[in-house]
């Protein structure tokens, strides 16, 4: 697991208890967990932009959905803004990993801003797929969560009215299209694999001629982290998921565990753990969403060790080797 921030940025003042006197706790830690290649790339883009252009570097929206990461980048000179009109004309700006509507880089070019696009390549792939489907004369049904930055960015790749958002099977039932209309579907990358499969099946049943992508749009990291939770949840009394409340892939990890019958709690930091949750818990699962750094996992383990005698074991579903290239403007 990558840890892009120094370990000494997280500290605990809690007294160290005598481990022999503490009740035991089996701790199963999911692998893979935490940062994915797209998040690694986005953070490195901001850091390299700071090195190349100097502070401040502006970032439109959270570069990734993690408060700790955002605060660390702020300390290095990044300034996070909601919209481009907050960016001075002579300042560099980075677009977040979630992707942006076409209108945003168009505005940046019109203002002659120096911008770097940190959109995850897997999200960019969906943007290109959307363009191709429109070129083929198909209306796009997009499966995703309303209001999520990735959904806003993807729907902003086409003209209004060319893409319809659905979240559930019930939404599919309400679609106004005839069964023989030229339709295609795409999905947000950070959805529940199981829920999305059900929605796709509903679409294919109602619209037998609907066109789908050749490969699943849900990204490898989202799928792998959900698979890892499935590997350990059935052996756990409780699962802790480290992630932000606005992180779609982290919320899905909570849902995966609960669907298997194991309670799960979403936390951003160790300080959010209510140790009353651990009453009666003999085996605890631990994972982290794709925007959460490994340092926060270790912080949680350290906090747990203040209250329980930890026996730690990693449960590996798969090994990830994905690496994404940086934008050429930061490497030349």
Which residues have a catalytic role annotated? 150
In 3D space, the residue among 248, 239, 242 whose CA is nearest the CA of residue 271 turns out to be: 242
| Pair of tokens at residue 296 | 């926060």
Secondary structure (3-state) at 141: strand
| Whole-Å CA distances, 108 to 49, 101, 151 | 17, 12, 21
Sort strands 238-242 and 163-166 into parallel, antiparallel or unpaired.
unpaired
Separation between Cα atoms, residue 321 and residue 201, nearest integer Å: 31
Edge to edge, what strands does the sheet with 183-187 contain? 163-166, 139-143, 183-187
Q: Residue 95 is inside which H or E element, if any? A: strand 93-95
- Scan for tokens 């090994």, then name that residue: 319
Count of beta carbons in the 10 Å neighbourhood of residue 120: 26
Separation between Cα atoms, residue 72 and residue 9, nearest integer Å: 9
Tell whether the torsion through CA atoms of 168, 133, 323 and 152 is positive or negative. Answer: negative
| Burial label, 112 (beta-carbon count in 10 A; 0-12, 13-18, 19+) | exposed
């Amino acid at each position: 697991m990558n840890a892009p921030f120094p370990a000494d940025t997280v500290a605990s003042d809690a007294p160290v208890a005598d481990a022999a006197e503490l009740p035991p706790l089996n701790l199963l830690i999911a692998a893979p967990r935490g940062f994915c290649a797209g998040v690694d790339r986005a953070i490195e883009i901001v850091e390299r932009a700071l090195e190349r252009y100097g502070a401040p570097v502006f970032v439109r929206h959270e570069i990734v959905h993690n408060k700790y990461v955002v605060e660390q980048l702020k300390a290095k000179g990044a300034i996070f803004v909601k919209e481009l009109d907050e960016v001075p004309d002579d300042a560099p700006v980075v677009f977040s990993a979630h992707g942006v509507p076409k209108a945003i880089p168009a505005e940046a070019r019109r203002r002659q801003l120096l911008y770097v696009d940190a959109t995850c390549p897997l999200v960019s792939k969906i943007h290109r797929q959307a363009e191709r489907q429109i070129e083929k004369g198909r209306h796009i049904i997009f499966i995703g969560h309303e209001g999520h930055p990735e959904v806003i960015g993807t729907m902003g790749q086409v003209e209004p009215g060319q893409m319809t958002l659905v979240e559930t099977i019930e939404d599919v039932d309400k679609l106004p299209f005839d069964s023989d209309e030229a339709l295609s579907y795409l999905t947000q990358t950070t959805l529940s694999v199981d829920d999305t499969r059900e929605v796709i099946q509903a679409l294919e049943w109602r619209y037998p001629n609907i066109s789908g992508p050749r490969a699943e749009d849900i990204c490898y990291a989202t799928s792998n982290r959900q698979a890892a939770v499935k590997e350990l949840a059935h052996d756990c009394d409780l699962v802790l998921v480290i992630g932000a409340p606005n992180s779609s892939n982290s919320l899905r990890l909570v849902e995966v565990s609960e669907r298997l019958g194991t309670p799960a709690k979403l936390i951003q930091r160790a300080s959010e753990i209510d140790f009353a949750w651990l009453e009666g818990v003999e085996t605890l699962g631990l994972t982290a969403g794709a925007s959460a750094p490994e340092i926060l996992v270790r912080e949680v383990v350290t906090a747990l060790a203040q209250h329980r005698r930890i026996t730690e074991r990693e449960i590996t579903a798969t090994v990830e080797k994905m690496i994404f290239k940086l934008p050429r403007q930061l490497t030349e």
